[in-house]
Amino acid sequence: MEANVAQQVNRGNTPRIKRKKSYKQPWMLHFMVLPAAILVFIFSYIPMSGVLMAFQDYKPALGIADSPWVGLKHFRYMWENDYFLQITWNTLFFACSKMVMNLIIPFSFALLLNEVRKMTLKRSIQTLIYLPHFLSWVTLSGILIDILAQTGLINQFLSSTFGIKPIFFLGDGNWFRFTVIFSDVWKEFGFNTIIFLAALSGINPSLYEAAEVDGAGRWKQTMYITIPSLIPITIVVATLALGNVMNANFDQVFNLYSPLIYQQGDIIDTFVYREGLLSGQFSFATAVNLFKSVISLVLIVISYRLAYRFAGYRIF
């Protein structure tokens, strides 16, 4: 198409053929990418070179160039540290639980929402359930701290309805884990539902018509048309989530945890923050972070490959 138009324009007008390439101004395109490219260089690529300090005893006064090199000292220390294994386990536990919950619940919710035939009701429900996604974890943890307090809404409800003693949702390790996973679902399930709803709206209606002619009820239509049609997108969502296995959501944990429950609630990112910026162990914190980043990188590459192979998914 493009070539056609260009040919028509140039026919019988020879001097223009010479300018054929330059009228699209490829140099201008370089200029347009330039600001973004420079910013990315400064704020992404320069810090990447900063990971070298994981192999040093970095002193801010000396900089990376002059700080002494110590090889794998920090990594060895990391591996001999029981607490590091604990926070790695916590991170994996949080990330995997959220991953499973954020797949199953939005999937089921989208299926149920698809059965709502009144468009106004459907839209109102969608509007309400997306909303928490846009609120920050600062706001949400402010709310959670209030309603989960000993005299808060939830404990009042539990004690008046079931006669349960007040629960330390944020002060007891196991309850903390439950709260983190549950509140993450609260914030994100509506948003994740969108993806499945979009896939549902893309199903060819003639499939349902054919099923109807064959005498299939709604249950059978769901089992044999709707669910199978959602499998590709489910595979994409699941495999892409794989790249996030080392991410247990810093913002959430950071705003909800306290020293009381570090054993069950501390994750790699919060540990890096405390060690690095609060205790000033720049090199050790960078080493821990590098370990995490490298594993994440491998997982992301694998997950994108899988998503591409099984569902033809590409990001651009």
Site for another protein in 108-167 (CB under 8 A): 109, 112-113, 115-118, 121, 124-125, 127-132, 134-139, 141-147, 149-153, 156
Pick the closer one to another protein by CB: 28 or 82. Answer: 28
If we measure between CA atoms, which residue out of 30, 12, 29, 10 comes closest to residue 20? 10
User: In this structure, are residues 300 and 290 in contact, taking their beta carbons and an 8 Å threshold?
Assistant: no
Instruction: Kindly tell me which residue out of 217, 228, 279, 302 binds another protein, with binding defined by CB under 8 A.
Output: 217
Pick the closer one to another protein by CB: 48 or 165. Answer: 48
CB of 2 to another protein, least distance (A): 5
Pick the closer one to another protein by CB: 72 or 138. Answer: 138
Q: How many CA atoms lie within 13 A of 112 on its CB side?
A: 10
Binding mask 24-43 for another protein (x = CB under 8 A): xxx-xxx-xx-xxx-xx-xx
Pick the closer one to another protein by CB: 82 or 278. Answer: 278
Instruction: Kindly tell me which residue out of 13, 14, 44, 120 binds another protein, with binding defined by CB under 8 A.
Output: 44
| Touching another protein, residues 266-305 (CB under 8 A) | 269, 272-273, 276-277, 282, 285-286, 289-290, 292-293, 297, 300-301
Torsion of CA 153, 154, 156, 158, to 10 degrees: 160
CB of 285 to another protein, least distance (A): 5
Instruction: Kindly tell me which residue out of 67, 74, 87, 190 binds another protein, with binding defined by CB under 8 A.
Output: 190
> In the chain, which residue ranges form alpha helices assigned H by DSSP?
2-10, 14-19, 26-40, 46-49, 63-66, 73-80, 82-114, 119-134, 137-147, 153-162, 173-201, 205-213, 218-221, 227-242, 250-256, 262-265, 268-273, 282-311
Pick the closer one to another protein by CB: 66 or 115. Answer: 115
Q: 68-95 burial, b for 16+ CB within 10 Å, e for fewer?
A: eeeeebbbeebeeeeebeebbebbebbb
